[in-house]
Chains A and B, each alone.
Chain A
Amino acid sequence: MADVKKIATRDSYGNALTALAAEHEDLVVFDADLAGATKTAVFKKAYPDRHFDCGIAEGNMMAAAAGASAMGLVPFVSSFAMFAAGRAFEQIRNSIGYPHLNVKIGATHGGISVGEDGASHQCCEDFALMRSIPGMVVLSPSDDVEARAAVKAAYEHKGPVYLRFGRLAVPVFHDEATFRFQIGKGEVLREGTDVAIIANGLLVNEAVQAGELLAQAGIQARVINLCTIKPLDEELVLQAARDCKRVVTCEEHSIIGGLGEAVCALLAERCPTPVRRVGVRDTFGCSGPAAQLLEKFGLTAKDIAAAAKELCG
């Protein structure tokens, strides 16, 4: 795997914004003193007149972006997931979600893999918070190709979108030449009928590896990438549940309120199926190198394979 190209999806975000801005004059960017980290600094360098630092004041930034959007601009608003979805939740809910304004929230540094900064900065609640807002689209892309496609799709979508990006460089496994992204549509990365593994974000690559591990043990897993947590690709999930009879969900997020619960809620109502949720188990994170933390919190291919085996056993 040493030759696999790795790119953090936050870098994809900054690059995608810069590329999109060339075609779309109405695209503007707001940041809260984190442009270097969220990578909107890349955009700022190319389009200094369309990048607005709001200082360390996320609440104002969200509502100001709402106002700018009401005037016809398409603001991408950035901070760390903790301070975007977390601190500014109510501004997003009331000033962006309720009026259904065309604001895109580009939140970087989602999940445990933030690493050394520790629990205060490791947002594992953003999917839950953003899913709860009516009309909000929630995206968690898995690699560079998907992240850039998601930014473009978010721009083209009319209405609020939350995009979560990661700090950690992750393998690029999609082929840009053939990849097609659509909001609300999942992607089958591996065929199988023994167990369905449904993942998003950084855990998609882990899920693919888990599929290989399981194949070695004679278990054929269907591996699904569900970048869009909301609206959920219900048909794809239901078909997987019907075909495989067992489902494992995987996300770099609390098992409360994220992809796992979205899948469980759908299956409970429409196709009761045994499920195991791989995610952060109702606990705060801690400081440490990202790779070690993913192991500590049980978010690796090995953990996913173990959950699948338990279901199949």
Chain B
Amino acid sequence: MTANEKKDLMAMACRVRMGVIEGTHSAKCGHPGGSLSAADLFTYLYSKELRVDPKDPKWEGRDRFVLSKGHTAPGLYAALADRGFFPAEDLKTLRQVGSYLQGHPNMNTVPGVDMSTGSLGQGVSAAAGMALAAKIQKRDCRVYALLGDGEIQEGQVWEALMFAHHYKLDDLCIIIDNNGLQIDGRVSDVMDPYPIVDKLAAFGFAVEEIDGHDFEQMETAFAHARETKGRPYAIVMKTTKGKGVSFMEDQAGWHGKAPNDGEYEQAMNELRQALAEVEAM
């Protein structure tokens, strides 16, 4: 990854984070915490990894992405808008009556969304079904799914992992956003999902743990995922919930709460400053 590529990614990640704050502030609700922890991933996927065409969102040959942790739609929407799937000003219509930007992803209304999600544990199954279909259809198509570390408490996730391993879905790559927090507190206090890496490995996945805010580690991990044959791949990314907005970082309380006007100003100032610093690099 060149310095310029990295700089572009960092700048986009700042814009995605601003989109998250814009959307949730405008909606007066939504889920900023997990959207911010995954903002770097959304940025990387839609800039580097996914073969998609913003001008032709339904292009048959595209790779698929399923946001299994569907409540972090504000982050996905901000990335899609930044890549030109739809106008960025529409992010302000998030969760409003009449908006196509539903509270949770709707594949039939949002350009670029490949699967309707929101009920935890189901998106990863859908992604596995997509990867199976791609295999049957002999398509060159990779399928990615992003899960929360709280989400993996759902039993269905492990059904899906068994299925993905059983059918050797090597075009499936799941990513776990391990920010360590869920609505009620620390995941380890609410219902301990650890050791996540060992469990995924025991279910037959090739597993890699990375820093989810490091684009170079992402680049390496996704390359490994593409090279791995015969079994599905899992990337467990260590992240900070609320990343990029000082008062939201590592706070479970910002899982599903919108910033008020004062908080909005502070968050946007911080992100604008971060963006200016990136651009000055």
Residues of A within 8 A of B (CB): 28, 49-50, 52, 54-55, 57, 59-73, 75, 90-91, 94-95, 98-100
Determine whether the beta carbon of A70 is less than 8 Å from that of B119. Answer: no
Name 24 interchain pairs, CB-CB below 8 A, sorted by A.
A28-B136, A55-B159, A55-B166, A57-B162, A57-B163, A59-B155, A59-B156, A63-B156, A64-B125, A67-B66, A67-B128, A67-B129, A68-B130, A70-B130, A70-B133, A75-B129, A91-B119, A91-B125, A94-B116, A94-B119, A94-B122, A99-B107, A99-B115, A99-B116
Which residues of B, 109-129, contact A by the 8 Å Cβ criterion?
114-116, 118-119, 121-123, 125-129
Which secondary structure characterizes the binding site on chain A?
Answer: helix
- Which residue of the partner chain, among A55, A73, A90, A98, contacts B116 with CB atoms under 8 Å? A98
Lowest 4 A-B CB distances belong to which pairs?
A67-B129, A63-B125, A64-B129, A67-B126
Question: B132 on the interface (CB 8 Å rule)?
Answer: yes
Residues of chain B lying within 8 A (CB to CB) of residue A63: 122-123, 125-126, 129, 156, 160
* Nearest-Cβ distance from residue B156 to partner chain A, whole angstroms: 4
Given contact pairs A70-B107, A70-B114, A50 touches B126 in the complex (Cβ within 8 A):
no
Determine whether the beta carbon of A95 is less than 8 Å from that of B126. Answer: yes
Residues of chain B lying within 8 A (CB to CB) of residue A73: 133, 136-137
Chain B: residues with Cβ within 8 Å of the partner, total of: 36
- Kindly state the separation between the CA atoms of A40 and B107 in the bound complex, as whole angstroms: 30
Given contact pairs A59-B125, A64-B129, A54 touches B115 in the complex (Cβ within 8 A):
no
Given contact pairs A67-B130, A70-B130, A95-B122, A60 touches B116 in the complex (Cβ within 8 A):
no
- Which residue of the partner chain, among A54, A71, A98, contacts B130 with CB atoms under 8 Å? A71
Given contact pairs A60-B159, A60-B160, A71 touches B122 in the complex (Cβ within 8 A):
no
Residues of chain B lying within 8 A (CB to CB) of residue A98: 106, 116
Residues of chain A lying within 8 A (CB to CB) of residue B160: 60, 63-64
Determine whether the beta carbon of B108 is less than 8 Å from that of A50. Answer: no
Residues of chain A lying within 8 A (CB to CB) of residue B116: 94-95, 98-99
Determine whether the beta carbon of A55 is less than 8 Å from that of B66. Answer: no
Determine whether the beta carbon of A50 is less than 8 Å from that of B163. Answer: no
Determine whether the beta carbon of A90 is less than 8 Å from that of B119. Answer: yes
Question: B203 on the interface (CB 8 Å rule)?
Answer: no
- Kindly state the separation between the CA atoms of A61 and B166 in the bound complex, as whole angstroms: 13
* Nearest-Cβ distance from residue A99 to partner chain B, whole angstroms: 4
Residue of B nearest to A63 (CB): B125
Residues of chain A lying within 8 A (CB to CB) of residue B60: 72
Residue of B nearest to A62 (CB): B125
Residues of chain B lying within 8 A (CB to CB) of residue A100: 108
Residues of chain B lying within 8 A (CB to CB) of residue A54: 159, 163
Determine whether the beta carbon of B137 is less than 8 Å from that of A94. Answer: no
- Kindly state the separation between the CA atoms of A57 and B155 in the bound complex, as whole angstroms: 10
Question: B134 on the interface (CB 8 Å rule)?
Answer: yes
Q: Which of B107, B131, B132 has the most CB of A within 10 A?
A: B132
- Kindly state the separation between the CA atoms of A64 and B164 in the bound complex, as whole angstroms: 10
Determine whether the beta carbon of B137 is less than 8 Å from that of A70. Answer: no
Question: B264 on the interface (CB 8 Å rule)?
Answer: no
* Nearest-Cβ distance from residue A58 to partner chain B, whole angstroms: 9
Determine whether the beta carbon of B132 is less than 8 Å from that of A68. Answer: yes
Residues of chain A lying within 8 A (CB to CB) of residue B86: none
Determine whether the beta carbon of B132 is less than 8 Å from that of A52. Answer: yes
Residues of chain A lying within 8 A (CB to CB) of residue B166: 55
- Kindly state the separation between the CA atoms of A28 and B118 in the bound complex, as whole angstroms: 26
Residues of chain A lying within 8 A (CB to CB) of residue B64: 70-71
- Kindly state the separation between the CA atoms of A54 and B125 in the bound complex, as whole angstroms: 11
Question: B167 on the interface (CB 8 Å rule)?
Answer: yes
- Kindly state the separation between the CA atoms of A61 and B162 in the bound complex, as whole angstroms: 11
- Please encode chain B, from 251 to 270, with 1 for each CB lying within 8 Å of some chain A CB and 0 for all others: 00000000000000000000
Residues of chain A lying within 8 A (CB to CB) of residue B126: 63-64, 66-67, 70, 95
- Which residue of the partner chain, among A57, A71, A94, contacts B133 with CB atoms under 8 Å? A71
Given contact pairs A28-B136, A52-B167, A73-B137, A66 touches B129 in the complex (Cβ within 8 A):
yes
